Amino acid sequence: MSDLHAPDFTPHNFGGLLTVAPQMLDFMAQAERVARTDASILVRGQTGSGKELVARYIHQTSRRASGQFSAINCAALSRELMASELFGHKRGAFTGATADRTGLFKLTDGGTLFLDEIAEMPLDIQAGLLRVLQDRCFTPLGSSDVIQTDIRLISATHTSLRRQVAERQFREDLMYRVRVVPLYLPPLTARLGDVEMLSWHFIAEQNARNERTVECVSQAAFDALLAYRWPGNIRELNNVITYAHAIGTGTRIDIADLPPELRGEAPPDEAPMPPEQRERDRILELLQRHKGHKQAVADELGISRATLWRKMKSLQLS
């Protein structure tokens, strides 16, 4: 099989989001049209597909481009920290609040606030966000002051807000406020040509950062890259190229340089355990729990002591 070299093409660059895929060009054209308005946007897309890059690009092409862009991941913060980050707080509002803090609702006044994984936002904080969207005001924690703010909200989620509403995990009135314009970001596997283009882009980045210089990719490795489902999307592809660049040697990335899952193998820590090993581990666990009393172990396994003895002998535990 022949080796493949980097093709000669220049991707479209939307504020750091690179693509050659017609589906993505259509999507970004839609995003540019929405950017001209002040409507709240909900970006639906899989993990690692570039939702924050889309939000930043919409901000950069909107009339709010000179204002601040703030981003927060609702899944990464506790309820208390999220409330403090968004609303701010007064000194003494809670344990550890040793000084006043200005929240993102105030800091982002005149700009764009991006709430990633908004479906993970607690219900009581959802009520505060609804007030910001309806009345354009909020109250910091520990304060009675009502502060005005003018933000443009862009949210993102990988799950269905309608399903969250049905399960009473998300407010229905807030859902209609945050998904005025839903945008559906295509996954990497639906972006024709992007796996190849981004692979070479990430290879070029690794070449610039490291001593090794990769000039080509074997046909087998390239076929594996194209055949993989990419559940982690662009983030996972970047990680795979970083791995292959670090593991391999020479100027070529070969199939052996790719992670096990791209070669159709389970990673060592995820490979199914042989039945004998599972049985051995189970007996060892029970022996430890029952302090070596074999009758108690046999009773819990539902076998006779003689059968337990034979099993231990065959598993080299005697």
- When pLDDT is cut at 50, 70 and 90, the band that residue 291 belongs to is confident
Whether 154 and 41 have beta carbons less than 8 Å apart is answered as yes
State the pLDDT at residue 269: 59
pLDDT at 119 over 60: yes
Of 29, 21, 14, give the one whose Cα is nearest residue 192. 21
pLDDT at 5 exceeding the cut of 80: yes
Which tens digits make up the pLDDT trace of 185-236?
A: 999 999 999 999 999 999 999 999 999 999 999 999 999 999 999 999 999 9
Determine the length of the chain: 318
Q: Which two tokens stand for residue 268?
A: 């060592």
pLDDT tens per residue, range 35-50: 999 999 999 999 999 9
Sequence-distant (6+) residues with CB within 8 A of 143 are 89, 90, 93
C-alpha dist (Å) from residue 116 to 19, 72, 280: 22, 6, 45
Nearest CA-CA partner of 44 in 229, 239, 181, 189: 181
